[in-house]
């Protein structure tokens, strides 16, 4: 699944435009300094991520609209203190967005950093993707151990 091809639509209807503006506005709120703003924005972003099931054939619109912001979201995540509670929710959002980066283990990395809620609430394809990243991570670690023996 390639978000770059999914987002190149010639026509965007009013509902999609409203959703795009909303999720981009929520992402922009994460640059604010107030924790209450972060908590509200992340609550809505998590809600969007959980409400649309991720599919191999078509990305949910919120992921398509937010994917261009992923590097900025990672920078924001990195800038927040480790003990800052909203950081866990942002990690979960980044994990859901990283679903489309099949070669990296970013989905797994940010899931480990995120809130450890019911993983199934994020959707079947997300869980399958995480399982695949776990397999790759295990193989990478196993291969490293073999080369040192």
The pTM for the full model equals 0.84
| pLDDT at res. 137 | 93
Residue 107: what pLDDT? 94
- Give the other-Cβ count within 10 Å of 39's Cβ: 13
Query: What pLDDT score does 52 carry?
Result: 65
Query: HSE (CB half, 13 Å, CA atoms) of 61?
Result: 14
- Per run of 10 residues, the mean pLDDT along the chain (length 149 residues) is 50 87 96 95 93 68 89 97 96 92 88 92 89 93 67
Which pLDDT belongs to residue 148?
47
Torsion (CA) 6, 43, 54, 62 in degrees, nearest 10: -10
Q: What pLDDT, on the 0 to 100 scale, is given for residue 7? A: 47
């Amino acid at each position: 699944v390639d978000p770059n091809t999914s987002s190149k639509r010639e026509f965007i209807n009013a509902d999609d435009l409203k959703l795009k503006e909303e999720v981009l506005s929520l992402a922009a709120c994460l640059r604010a300094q107030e924790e209450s703003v972060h908590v509200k924005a992340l609550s809505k972003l998590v809600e969007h991520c959980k409400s649309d099931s991720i599919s191999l054939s078509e990305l949910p619109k919120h992921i398509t609209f937010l994917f261009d912001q992923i590097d900025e979201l990672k920078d924001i995540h990195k800038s927040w203190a480790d003990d800052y509670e909203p950081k866990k929710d942002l990690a979960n959002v980044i994990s859901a967005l990283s679903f489309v980066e099949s070669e990296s283990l970013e989905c797994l990395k940010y899931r480990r950093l995120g809130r450890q809620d019911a993983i199934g609430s994020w959707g079947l394809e997300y869980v399958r993707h995480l399982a695949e990243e776990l397999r790759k991570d295990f193989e990478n670690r196993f291969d490293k151990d073999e080369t040192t023996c």
